[in-house]
Amino acid sequence: MLQHFFNPSSVAVIGASQNPAKIGYDILNNILQYGYGGTVYPINPKAQEILGHKAYPDLASVPSDIDLAVVAVPATAVMDVLEQCGKKGVDSVIVVTAGFREIGPEGARLENKLAMRARELGIRIVGPNCLGIIDTASALNASFAAGMPLAGHIGFFSQSGALCVAILDWALGENVGFSRFVSLGNKMDISETEIMLSMGQDENTRVILGYLESIEDGPRFMKAAREVSKTKPIIIIKSGTTSAGAKAASSHTGALAGSDHAYRAAFKQSGIIHAESMQALFGYAMAFANQAPPKGPSLAIITNSGGPGILAADACDRSSLHLTPIRRETADRLREFLPPTASVYNPIDIIGDATHERYQKTLAVILNDEFIHAVLILLTPTAAVDAEAVAREIVSLAKDTDKPIMTAFMGGKRVRHARKIFQDHAIPAYDYPEDAVGALDAMLSYRRWREQPERQYRHFDVDTSKVREVFASVVKQHRQDLVESEARQILKAYGFRLPESRIARTTQEAVKMASEIGYPVVMKIASPDVLHKSDMGGVRVGVENEAMAEDAFFHITSNIQLRQPGARILGVMVQEMIPQGREVILGITRDMQFGPIIMFGLGGIYVEVLKDVAFRIAPLSVEEADAMIRDIRSFPLLRGVRGELPADIKGIRDALLRLSQMAIDCPEIVEADVNPLLVCPEGQGAVAVDARITIQE
Ligand code: ADP
Ligand code: MG
């Protein structure tokens, strides 16, 4: 895939220059100076020879085929170059030139024209407005970056050229090797998805790293990531926000769906490791490039001081790693040589006078314990310890184990050389224990992702003709919001459980209906104009008898007349009361990039304050529905606290899956909320007592 970009037999640099102040000089110079083995053709009508290579006035005069063209001419001249490429049969072009989409509408127009013409000519383009491409395996540096990374196994793509430069410099400083570097620029043609797929196939790339500001085609991106992440970790840092779809302020889901929820959900659902900061990105890259993920969650920490050990333990507590107690046998073996004041529990504190020998013996014992899956070694540079000697011991023991070993030697001057030793021997070395724990945690989740069984999807039988009929009638009346009875019909067609309800127009009717449904009942205003019924005094729960029903009817109708004069009142809805239901909210919203998104959270009046909600992109698999229920902080409340019965989690899952199918089936739904879904105790299901649906005109 995209072979000519990474492993071309010949490269032409169009706009090659002999002036070192020009980008066209840097690019040619980079291609020539790092050992690229193919043929290089500088193209410049005004030069005979550049950097010792014969220059050609244009592509047509080059005597042989060209695999890759790197273009560094002014923006207005790029179109002409593209035509030349077409004539010459060049199929892969990197446009480093800036002055397109990023400068405004005029630049965007030029870029669109270029994209169209390139498609006609069958030419693939990286850029424009990019730094170029580096491939260490073919020793090709077709970029204007300063320096060439060491050969290694990290593939990096970036939407920001500046970040490419920064990462490159970091890599050179830390001895981190790269397989490929791709600066995406404006992504006029080739996007992150294609680069990710090509790195997935590249045998030199073991870890894929990316910096993104936007994602072009959400579903395609997710599909590619799912595929690639089954064999290679993909670590991405995402800045900026995706624009969430149209927002109706009346819906809770709309108000809660911040613009970054979509890509966060997309990352989770496609196995992408999300780095929240540059520090995390580097930290994860170092771990994944050098070590295999731990086989399980048990981590042992070895330290020569208490404080850092506690910091690491705290970080561990916030992660999915376990600081498992050291087993008796192992503890006994440690006691044989550790001083009595040492702690053989986890963190294992081998105390301030520890030498490299003590580190060595301790690590050897710990690596031998089959119940420990990973080790983190901390060191503070005490007078007793020779950090370099410790590093050498660790390197030597690391050779014979497949358990990941991480290090955080804290300090500056006295640990610098030790860190260098780690870098040279593929042992991840961090400045702080929290970073090491974070990286290990990311590796563990990645392992779990890979071991996860195939996703299961469920399909429900739906009364589709009913759904179509309701939507058609709403559209005919030029409305976007469904009234309650319409929303209920849609939910019913999708197999949601609904409370029995009827609309009473008089007090007498209300009393009669209440006794038919059976007390206690709930009474609510039935009006297409009242959005939040309880805010207007339009809801009474726990109506237990005739007198209360009469009273409720009177107060509900007069409250609405008073607080929202002019609202059309159809009557009062008398509804079966669902006892012991815990309130959750489910919703649909749409994102421009990723399409329909499903929301879940604990319902009730605090939902918008606490924002304790989880998002996933539809369609949801059974596992994803379960995962999003567990994702919210208040999940323990659903399992029941202090003697409460556990709520029916299966009922929630079922409702989420039905809603997901609805989101996929009905593209006209812009937003929907079921708020609340009342979840009964385990085994008794869940009931949708209130819903709002908004469709497109
Ligand atoms: P709105 O959201 O427009 O104020 P709801 O129909 O959601 O109106 O009712 C408000 C609250 O009343 C719900 O969040 C729930 O706590 C309670 N409630 C409503 N209907 C029922 C019912 N059938 N059974 C039990 N509680 C209910
Ligand atoms: Mg409600």
Closest residue CA from atom 23 of ligand 1: 577
Ligand lying closest to the C-alpha of residue 604: 1
How far apart are the CA of 568 and the centre of ligand 2, in A?
19
Closest residue CA from atom 17 of ligand 1: 541
Instruction: Give the integer Cα–Cα distance in Å for 390 and 354.
Output: 10
Strand ranges for 336-387 from DSSP E: 348-349, 374-379
Closest residue CA from atom 15 of ligand 1: 676
Does the pLDDT at position 675 exceed 80?
Answer: yes
Task: Give the pLDDT of residue 12.
Answer: 98
- Asked if 652 contacts 627 with a C-beta cutoff of 8 angstroms, the reply is no
Handedness of CA 260, 266, 268, 274 (dihedral sign): negative
Does the pLDDT at position 251 exceed 70?
Answer: no
Does the pLDDT at position 534 exceed 70?
Answer: yes
DSSP letters of 601-668? Answer: EE-STTHHHH--EEEEESSPPHHHHHHHHHHSTTHHHHH-STTPPPB-HHHHHHHHHHHHHHHHH-TT
Instruction: Give the integer Cα–Cα distance in Å for 624 and 413.
Output: 48
Closest residue CA from atom 13 of ligand 1: 676
Joined together, the tokens standing for residue 695 give 């469709």
- Kindly give the number of the ligand 1 atom that is closest to the alpha carbon of 675: 7
Model pLDDT for residues 343-372, shown as the tens digit of each residue: 998 999 999 999 999 999 999 999 999 999
Per-chain residues with Cβ under 5 A from ion ligand 2: 675, 690
Could you tell me the domains of the chain? 3-205 (3.40.50.720), 288-451 (3.40.50.261), 500-577 (3.30.1490.20), 582-695 (3.30.470.20)
pLDDT band at 249 (very low <50, low <70, confident <90, very high): very low
DSSP letters of 191-210? Answer: -HHHHHHHHHH-TT-SEEEE
How far apart are the CA of 675 and the centre of ligand 2, in A?
4
Most informative mutation of 523, 577, 679, 690 for ligand 1 (most atoms within 8 A of CB): 690
Ligand lying closest to the C-alpha of residue 538: 1
- Asked if 110 contacts 84 with a C-beta cutoff of 8 angstroms, the reply is no
Task: Give the pLDDT of residue 115.
Answer: 97
Instruction: Give the integer Cα–Cα distance in Å for 260 and 656.
Output: 21
How far apart are the CA of 463 and the centre of ligand 2, in A?
25
Model pLDDT for residues 179-189, shown as the tens digit of each residue: 999 999 999 99
Cβ neighbors of 246 (< 8 A, separation 6 or more) are: 590, 670
Task: Give the pLDDT of residue 37.
Answer: 96
Task: Give the pLDDT of residue 611.
Answer: 82
- Asked if 102 contacts 140 with a C-beta cutoff of 8 angstroms, the reply is no
Does the pLDDT at position 260 exceed 90?
Answer: no
Task: Give the pLDDT of residue 170.
Answer: 87
How far apart are the CA of 511 and the centre of ligand 1, in A?
19
How far apart are the CA of 605 and the centre of ligand 2, in A?
9
Average pLDDT, the chain: 93
Joined together, the tokens standing for residue 156 give 């990096």
Task: Give the pLDDT of residue 252.
Answer: 54
Model pLDDT for residues 638-666, shown as the tens digit of each residue: 998 888 899 999 999 999 999 999 999 99
How far apart are the CA of 690 and the centre of ligand 1, in A?
7
Instruction: Give the integer Cα–Cα distance in Å for 543 and 29.
Output: 83
Most informative mutation of 491, 500, 503, 522 for ligand 1 (most atoms within 8 A of CB): 522
Does this model's pTM top 0.85? My answer is: yes
Model pLDDT for residues 364-423, shown as the tens digit of each residue: 999 999 999 999 999 999 999 999 999 999 999 999 999 999 999 999 999 999 999 999
Most informative mutation of 523, 678, 680, 687 for ligand 1 (most atoms within 8 A of CB): 678
Does the pLDDT at position 18 exceed 60?
Answer: yes
pLDDT band at 593 (very low <50, low <70, confident <90, very high): confident
Least confident window among 241-255, 586-600, 631-645:
241-255
Does the pLDDT at position 564 exceed 50?
Answer: yes
Q: What is the mean pLDDT of residues 587-591?
A: 93
Instruction: Give the integer Cα–Cα distance in Å for 434 and 283.
Output: 10
Does the pLDDT at position 246 exceed 80?
Answer: no
Model pLDDT for residues 139-189, shown as the tens digit of each residue: 999 999 999 999 999 999 999 888 888 889 988 888 889 999 999 999 999
Q: How many CB atoms lie within 10 A of CB 80?
A: 12
pLDDT band at 245 (very low <50, low <70, confident <90, very high): very low
How far apart are the CA of 583 and the centre of ligand 1, in A?
9
- Kindly give the number of the ligand 1 atom that is closest to the alpha carbon of 687: 23
Model pLDDT for residues 269-295, shown as the tens digit of each residue: 999 999 999 899 999 999 999 999 999
- Asked if 526 contacts 483 with a C-beta cutoff of 8 angstroms, the reply is no
Does the pLDDT at position 689 exceed 70?
Answer: yes
Ligand lying closest to the C-alpha of residue 532: 1
Q: What is the mean pLDDT of residues 668-673?
A: 95
- Kindly give the number of the ligand 1 atom that is closest to the alpha carbon of 577: 24
Does the pLDDT at position 546 exceed 80?
Answer: yes
Task: Give the pLDDT of residue 250.
Answer: 43
Instruction: Give the integer Cα–Cα distance in Å for 270 and 235.
Output: 11
How far apart are the CA of 234 and the centre of ligand 1, in A?
44
- Widest CA span in the chain: 102
Closest residue CA from atom 2 of ligand 1: 532
Instruction: Give the integer Cα–Cα distance in Å for 480 and 384.
Output: 74
Ligand 1 contacts (CB < 6 A) are 499, 522, 524, 532-534, 539, 541, 575-578, 581, 583, 676, 678, 689-690
SS3 content of the chain, % helix, strand, coil (to 5): 40, 20, 40
Q: How many CB atoms lie within 10 A of CB 658?
A: 20
- Asked if 386 contacts 355 with a C-beta cutoff of 8 angstroms, the reply is yes
How far apart are the CA of 525 and the centre of ligand 2, in A?
12
How far apart are the CA of 579 and the centre of ligand 1, in A?
12
Closest residue CA from atom 5 of ligand 1: 690
Burial (0-12, 13-18, 19+ Cβ within 10 Å), 518: exposed
- Kindly give the number of the ligand 1 atom that is closest to the alpha carbon of 581: 25
- Asked if 43 contacts 57 with a C-beta cutoff of 8 angstroms, the reply is yes
How far apart are the CA of 81 and the centre of ligand 1, in A?
66
Closest residue CA from atom 18 of ligand 1: 541
pLDDT band at 254 (very low <50, low <70, confident <90, very high): low
Q: What is the mean pLDDT of residues 66-91?
A: 97
Model pLDDT for residues 45-74, shown as the tens digit of each residue: 999 999 999 999 999 999 999 999 999 999
Instruction: Give the integer Cα–Cα distance in Å for 182 and 206.
Output: 15
Task: Give the pLDDT of residue 175.
Answer: 81
Model pLDDT for residues 321-349, shown as the tens digit of each residue: 999 899 999 999 999 999 999 999 899 99
pLDDT band at 308 (very low <50, low <70, confident <90, very high): very high
Distance of CA 411 to the CA centre of its chain: 33
Per DSSP, helices labelled H in 414-570 are 416-424, 433-451, 464-476, 484-493, 507-517, 546-563
Does the pLDDT at position 446 exceed 50?
Answer: yes
Does the pLDDT at position 604 exceed 80?
Answer: no
- Asked if 288 contacts 643 with a C-beta cutoff of 8 angstroms, the reply is no
Task: Give the pLDDT of residue 111.
Answer: 96
